[in-house]
Structure 1
């Protein structure tokens, strides 16, 4: 019995299906190659960006660099091998960490650590720099700890105008600062103040502390020559305790406590 062969139409259909299937497989393989190349480019760009950010972090670890020389990374191009182009810039809006407890202090601004960090962005582009050929990375770089000078690290001064002795129901202002080994003020410290009766200078007096709304970290504070007895809302007279007092300022920096007493101040009769 003789077998019947394929007709012309069946042969053409078989060839068409075979070619179509081959083209689909070829397109899938080509797409996989393109996606693989894209993944490789993005991975390499990420490595480049992280390398740049690591270099900036290492550079910023030195206080002299962090405090003064950020212009070398602000809106600057940096050459890179492999066909990648690197552009670094500082964010327009910098972040200031805020104390979560300060929101409870009604009438006072939140305690914020200004200039304690820098937001840096790195843009890596390749080929023609189209949106698909660009990658951006962002990092927050914190201020490094500084070495505190060994001699007179804390300075407590009175802020002019100075009136001695301090008149009843008036204030005199004090300011506390901590200095590094380059005689620069270390900002962002939260200060604690105490009034100490100075019996060594005669009769020890006592006053009250008044915080300033412009000084949420209490770098400056007012000494009020007014002494509250009992309930401050309904105090009992007399409202003064004249004599000699000392202002004691304390802070903690990098795990070390620093404290200093001011020169004696006389509260008038």
Structure 2
């Protein structure tokens, strides 16, 4: 048999090398294309989420909003919602933050806007990046979180000022959550915030009232084992079983919506 010349061997090796490199390039291109096609969509392709607000309280409330650091801005930071009224606002599909309702608000002699409960102390109806001064009932959201799910909860960790609920709309497998009880009616006297007429208008959490590690779950009580429920947080939990009553109350208080959708927040449901 005739042996191959060195030149023929070199030529054959070069062909194999070029073909292999070309084939690897094709595979790499297909791999990148597959990653592109399987990139998760944010909120099923939605660019925004609608939050609707309904006030079923027999009085006007002033909802406030606070966006989490690093999250895209919400369309409003505060507005007026009269008794029986509804309003809707849009949020970016990756928004994270909280809502609450201020009560007994008015403009004082100096022109400053002030509220008896959950005031953000901005001096105007818009909170402009300020959060609620506790006690305040909170509706908290993280849209398009881990796994593309929405996470939401009602929190009484900062105390309670009025009942509220969260109702998903348009999603699938998305549970509602509510704190419909009037916690003010059973508030411990040491936690009570009273109005000018002496009635209880809000109820502090023990953390807000006493600022102690065993109530705030701060060091050295900063684990679930060292910061169990207290008699104060258990009162909140008995009244509103679905709401956060203290820092480590995750298991029965965090809710998820896997498919995206919009949300209705009702004050005094």
How would you bin the TM-score normalised by the shorter chain?
under 0.3
Q: Which structure has the larger Rg over C-alpha atoms?
A: 1
Higher RCO (CA-CA < 8 Å; seq separation 6+): 2
- TM-score, normalised relative to structure 1: 0.27
Higher helix fraction: Structure 1 or Structure 2?
1
